[in-house]
Structure 1
Amino acid sequence: MKALFRYALIGMLLASAALQSNSGRAEAKRDSEQSVKQLVSEMTLEEKIGQMLMPDFRNWKKKGESSAKGLTEMNDEIAGIIRKYHLGGVILFAENVTGTEQTVRLTDGLQKASRGVPLFITIDQEGGIVTRLESGTNLPGNMSIGATKRAQNAYRSGNIIGKELAALGINVNFSPVLDVNNNPANPVIGVRSYSSKPELTARFGIQAMKGLQNEHIIATAKHFPGHGDTAVDSHYGLPLVPHDAERLKSVELYPFQKAIDAGIDMIMTAHVQFPAFDDTTYKSKKDGRDIMVPATLSKKVMTDLLRKDLGFDGVIVTDALNMKAISDNFGQEEAVVMAVKAGVDIALMPAAVTSLETEKNLANVYEALLKAVRQGDIPIEQINRSVERILSLKSKRGILDSRSSASLRDKIKYALKTVGNRKHEKTERKMAREGVTVLKNDDRTLPFKPKKGDTILILAPYEDQAKAISKTIKRIKKKTVVKEYPFAEKTFNQDIQKLVDQADYVITGSYVVKNDPVVNDGVIDDTIEDSSKWATVFPRAAMKYAQAKQKKFVLMSLRNPYDTANFEEAKAVIAVYGFKGFSNGRFRQPNIPAGVEVIFGKAKPKGTLPVDIPSVTKPGEILYEYGYGLNIKNGKPLKLEGAR
């Protein structure tokens, strides 16, 4: 009870600072800083180390159960671990947040388990293709919002996410993504980025940050110093960005510097090698090779660059330390110690804990950090500064005094009214329509104008995508015949030709994460038998056959818009920047329905490209430039007025 009183007192002191005049606010801030320092001085080393650890309980196997399953209800085993290690926070995944009421009960239970400092309860709710909430508003995603060129859409997206997370008892969002996606071959960022332009990325990211913060949600810029110009996914390997320091500062670092200046709360690291900042080598535990230390584990990047050069004094959190870029090359305990020595404040997912039997993994990391401090490898002063940053941020965003008088019943009632409500859904649909980008419309192919009884054939990679297109068509063109065919890992054969022959209109979805078609003499070879090339070969074959048969055909790019370069011969091409379709009784993203509405003339396309699209057949040339997009009505390029 004494500890709880102290934390609540600090929270009230910091909250009162926001209500003071300028001179009074400065004095209150000094008082609160002193109070935090006093609080930290009274904490044990074990309590301090606990604040710097943030595991997940994504799946859990209770004693006596045969296997682990998604943790959706709080239990005494996890409560015991939170208390035993004085944990400062946890991260939630889709397995943990399967419904609104369920999530409120889980977060309430997590906070009650922490009898000392209230927890950071975190999540990756970026909007678009990275969303965790089963019942939340999914939103069109960052690149779609970048295509609208309307900064207010970025704010609205952050604000909607902020309202829903706050209602659920989640207080930290690992968003916005400030990676500048200037590498079309990037397998992990892509549409998660706003743009290939650092200025637009910075402006939109800051607006999303403000939307979150205005709902008292901690905003996290990621992945520092930048994951946008990589061709390797750090979940599976160790990427390297080879550019010199000047280029990195003008492009990759630009959005982060602007976000720091604007008051970002937290910054998440990237497991990426940046030799321009740190070329220190380390012998990989995986294969004994000498590798460069990634940013997450680099003092030159975390302390010298981020703290000293860029002036960030907020909380630094690692990206998940179980990702293969780290786990394959560095030992579990050593990676955590290296990250803290480098200057990070919070080690995210430092050890896999899925049962009491695997609790030892967390115990080993915890003891390794304690040992490093006690032996002087990590100065206690550095630990104190990290914990001061953590507690100051918890106070600033109202977490220290977050144990409100509201009953659990009232929290659930409010969350049910807030999460995924009709107002939010209406806003996400509007934003998605504004992002749809028409890249080609030869011979006025669009909009489609089917007559009663006409057949529309949908060829989409996956069933959920085909269903999303089909359901939207049936809503807006009720008297047409709609046929669906998911084509993932299939070949374009005579049976498909018959379907095209019977159709009046053909909509084909393209889902190419990374362009890698075989090009011979400037022509894409779509006759190859390699089954791994289906994502390019099948839709190209459909395009060529349908257009040869004089069918009305449109190619809909469902994910990274770079794949539109595979379909130069198509008469109509649109990009929607989002691939999630219809499943479990709901649309998982608004992007595909928005694209269908544009195809049939029910919505006006307003999107312009937020990236350059390189040619596939003519390396070094740009096929569609940043800012390009067509007006269906007159066939002319839309006027690019800049981000508003």
Structure 2
Amino acid sequence: MRRFIVLLFSLIGLASCSPQPVTDADDVRHVLGQKLMLDFRYFCQDGTSASECKQAVTELPEALAEVLRQGHIGGVILFADNLETAPQIVSLIDEMQQVMHSAGLPPLFIAVDQEGGRVARLPASISTRFAGNMALGATYAAHGTTYAEQVAAGIAEELKLFGFNLNFAPTVDVNVNPDNPVINVRSYGEDAERVATLGQTTVASLQQYGIMSALKHFPGHGDTHVDSHTGLPRVDHDRATIDAVDLLPFRRIIASPTPPAMVMTAHIQYPQLDSTKFVATNGEPTIVPATMSRAILTGVLREQLGYEGIIVTDALDMAGIAHYFAPLEATVQTFRAGADIALMPYTLRTPQDIENFWQYFDGLIAAVKANRLDRHALQLSAQRIARLKAAYQLEQQAAVPRSERLAQLQQLPFPSLRQQEQELAQAAMTRIYDNGVLPLTQSHWQLVMPDTLRCHAFTAALRAQAPHITSTCLSLAALPAEEPWHDWPTDVPVIIGDITPHHSLAEMGGMDDLASWRERPSKEEQYAWVTDLLRVTDARQQPTVLVALRTPYVASRYRELADAALASYDYSAEETAEGELHSPSFRAIVHSLLTNEAPGQLPVSVD
């Protein structure tokens, strides 16, 4: 019966005639399941509460396998917690695909956020992270789309070997707000034309290698100061600005010879596109976010921009949605708006969550029976999903033997991609300004870094390139109680690394304990401390260099006090199994300080 349903939907998807209406219970269940993409990040079967469960799913429990089977689930997204070693990743993905195959169900979309830079889920020990989109934007003036094409091809090559078939990338938000807490260096820059060009290259390169691309975050997340993971952002651009800035990359890439397989929605309010209000769970009238807006998803994306592919929501468990909608209502509303796939619509952490999930699923079926969800629209959506899975030959991809994948993965990380990673890091290095202190020639350097891992990464890079130069490093994971600069020789250059906005505990690399994390100063406290330091170094004419490791906008804060400022757009560093530190960006930073070579150009405006 299940294989018959799959065949039926394949035939419907390839037919040119109008789709048949969704009628019987099997049809309804199958269509709804195909429209759900779940996360299996954590799962606890030992009685741990959902809120406390942190047991990473690295192999598939039978309880979750049954959810895939009985729910006819269409896709799964994996996170860093799920991904440990090459054999483990291949086995986990293969287990999930074999569950579907054995049940006679379509293969799964296996998705991941592997943008590069600060959003990369695969372990750096077995993959190539690259420096991220704003670094690519910094290379555009000298290299055009060369690095964007190479990076996307490298990411796609690795993802396909592991068994992934969908990458939630690239981000084509035009970052015009220096205070944007969530996009910043994930954007190619502030020029919409350049963002469109680099984004299109990335889409084409990913999809050429068989990895579906999901363009995000529609209709644009570039001018916000609120993170939709924690709140509901709002963009008050007029329609002319929306067309010229926010929508331009989406319009260009959708109209290109290689349109994206998917477009991801943003949990963001755009009053000029839709000012409709709904009553939130707290009882307050609230402007509908794009993810729930039919005027935006159907009216703008489908009808005005002519997009014919899959519309996938951003994660529905993010605060931009979860604080305003219950899971069932969120899913119903986004389907009514025109979304094909609900991403992470229901959190599964315990056996009790699974029981509640079936109540949620029954609620979706009831919404179909009550005509809250249009059966014809559901069938059109199922047709798009079936066509996409067939076009990318997901069944054939999933059938590649596990042993064959494992044999290929023994080469990881590929040396050629590591070389490209280093070349990109150096090509992106940008000199924001220099009052004549570069290159540095002194025999001892004083380093001030955001945390211990960055201290180690910088020190290792300096030792490798200039073993005759010594250094000491101060970590700002905890601010010193005293004023240590009084003990520093006045002829020693001070190099200050800044990560703005703050990075996460995971990104601190485990070299600072949990106590340091809890006591870590706020950015404002760090800014105040660094300003005090720079006032002293400025007064005694001690050379100082600021290195913007994330957003380059921070350089404007210290323009009158620091003698020079560089931007790397990336602060990645990882300790290898051999105990060495792998950090192309820190190697590039040290090279620039020693040689004054910084060929990149700012892709955003810094006062």
| C-alpha distance in 1 between matches for 2:171 and 2:35 | 23
Name 1:542's counterpart in structure 2.
533
Q: Does 1:470 align with 2:466?
A: no
Q: How does 1:7-26 map to 2 (within 5 A)?
A: none
| Offset from partner CA, 1:350-385 (integer Å, 9 cap, x none) | 011012221134223322221111111111111111
Give, as a single letter, the amino acid of the residue that structure 1 aligns with 2:232.
L
Secondary structure, counterpart of 1:251 in structure 2: helix
Distance 1:108 1:325, change over 3 A: same
Distance 1:7 1:556, change over 3 A: farther
Aligned residues: 572
Pick from 105, 108, 113 the counterpart of residue 124 of structure 1.
Answer: 113
Pick from 476, 481, 492 the counterpart of residue 504 of structure 1.
Answer: 492
Distance 1:103 1:504, change over 3 A: same
Give, as a single letter, the amino acid of the residue that structure 2 aligns with 1:167.
L
Secondary structure, counterpart of 2:351 in structure 1: coil
TM-score, normalised to structure 2's length? 0.89
Q: Does 1:202 align with 2:196?
A: yes
Q: Does 1:398 align with 2:387?
A: no
The structural deviation recorded for 1:35 is 10
Pick from 484, 487, 505 the counterpart of residue 476 of structure 2.
Answer: 487
Q: Does 1:86 align with 2:110?
A: no
Pick from 7, 10, 14 the counterpart of residue 32 of structure 1.
Answer: 14
Name 1:523's counterpart in structure 2.
none
Give, as a single letter, the amino acid of the residue that structure 2 aligns with 1:580.
S
| C-alpha distance in 2 between matches for 1:370 and 1:41 | 11
Secondary structure, counterpart of 2:263 in structure 1: strand
Give, as a single letter, the amino acid of the residue that structure 2 aligns with 1:275.
P
8 Å contact from structure 2 (residues 454, 573) kept in 1: yes
Give, as a single letter, the amino acid of the residue that structure 2 aligns with 1:83.
R
Name 2:508's counterpart in structure 1.
none
8 Å contact from structure 2 (residues 5, 27) kept in 1: no
8 Å contact from structure 2 (residues 156, 206) kept in 1: yes
The structural deviation recorded for 1:281 is 0.8
Give, as a single letter, the amino acid of the residue that structure 2 aligns with 1:241.
V
| C-alpha distance in 2 between matches for 1:74 and 1:162 | 24
| C-alpha distance in 2 between matches for 1:416 and 1:8 | 40
Distance 1:138 1:589, change over 3 A: farther
| C-alpha distance in 2 between matches for 1:552 and 1:341 | 60
The structural deviation recorded for 1:465 is 1.4
Q: How does 1:260-299 map to 2 (within 5 A)?
A: 260-262=254-256, 263-286=259-282, 288-299=283-294
Q: Does 1:578 align with 2:570?
A: yes
Gaps of 5+ in 1: 14-29, 515-529, 614-622, 624-644
| C-alpha distance in 1 between matches for 2:464 and 2:408 | 32
8 Å contact from structure 2 (residues 334, 342) kept in 1: yes
Name 2:409's counterpart in structure 1.
415
The structural deviation recorded for 1:38 is 7.8
| C-alpha distance in 1 between matches for 2:347 and 2:18 | 31
Moved more, 346-355 or 408-417: 408-417
Distance 1:609 1:107, change over 3 A: same
| C-alpha distance in 1 between matches for 2:255 and 2:388 | 16
The structural deviation recorded for 1:102 is 1.0
| C-alpha distance in 2 between matches for 1:166 and 1:512 | 33
The structural deviation recorded for 1:544 is 3.0
Pick from 325, 334, 338 the counterpart of residue 330 of structure 1.
Answer: 325
Secondary structure, counterpart of 1:600 in structure 2: helix
The structural deviation recorded for 1:589 is 5.2
Gaps of 5+ in 2: 503-520
| C-alpha distance in 1 between matches for 2:448 and 2:588 | 17
Distance 1:222 1:185, change over 3 A: same
8 Å contact from structure 2 (residues 500, 554) kept in 1: yes
8 Å contact from structure 1 (residues 456, 503) kept in 2: no
| C-alpha distance in 2 between matches for 1:152 and 1:612 | 23
Pick from 24, 28, 36 the counterpart of residue 45 of structure 1.
Answer: 28
| C-alpha distance in 2 between matches for 1:583 and 1:279 | 49
Name 2:549's counterpart in structure 1.
558
Name 2:510's counterpart in structure 1.
none
8 Å contact from structure 2 (residues 175, 223) kept in 1: yes
The structural deviation recorded for 1:98 is 1.4
| C-alpha distance in 1 between matches for 2:477 and 2:525 | 7
| C-alpha distance in 1 between matches for 2:8 and 2:366 | 31
| C-alpha distance in 2 between matches for 1:175 and 1:421 | 21
Q: Does 1:375 align with 2:363?
A: no
| Offset from partner CA, 1:532-551 (integer Å, 9 cap, x none) | 52231222233332343443
Identical aligned residues as a percent: 32
TM-score, normalised to structure 1's length? 0.84
Give, as a single letter, the amino acid of the residue that structure 1 aligns with 2:247.
L
Give, as a single letter, the amino acid of the residue that structure 1 aligns with 2:269.
Q
Computed over aligned residues only, the root mean square deviation of the Cα atoms, in angstroms, reads 2.5
Name 1:441's counterpart in structure 2.
434
| C-alpha distance in 2 between matches for 1:68 and 1:266 | 30
Give, as a single letter, the amino acid of the residue that structure 2 aligns with 1:512.
T
| Offset from partner CA, 1:321-370 (integer Å, 9 cap, x none) | 00011111111111111000100000000011012221134223322221
Name 2:224's counterpart in structure 1.
230
Name 2:88's counterpart in structure 1.
102
Distance 1:299 1:169, change over 3 A: same
Name 1:62's counterpart in structure 2.
45
Q: How does 1:211-222 map to 2 (within 5 A)?
A: 211-222=205-216
Q: How does 1:142-153 map to 2 (within 5 A)?
A: 142-149=133-140, 150-153=144-147
| Offset from partner CA, 1:235-277 (integer Å, 9 cap, x none) | 0111110111121011100000111112111000000000111
Distance 1:609 1:365, change over 3 A: same
The structural deviation recorded for 1:466 is 1.5
Secondary structure, counterpart of 1:55 in structure 2: strand
8 Å contact from structure 1 (residues 172, 219) kept in 2: yes
8 Å contact from structure 1 (residues 138, 589) kept in 2: no
Distance 1:31 1:230, change over 3 A: closer
Name 2:517's counterpart in structure 1.
none
Distance 1:161 1:589, change over 3 A: farther
Name 1:190's counterpart in structure 2.
184
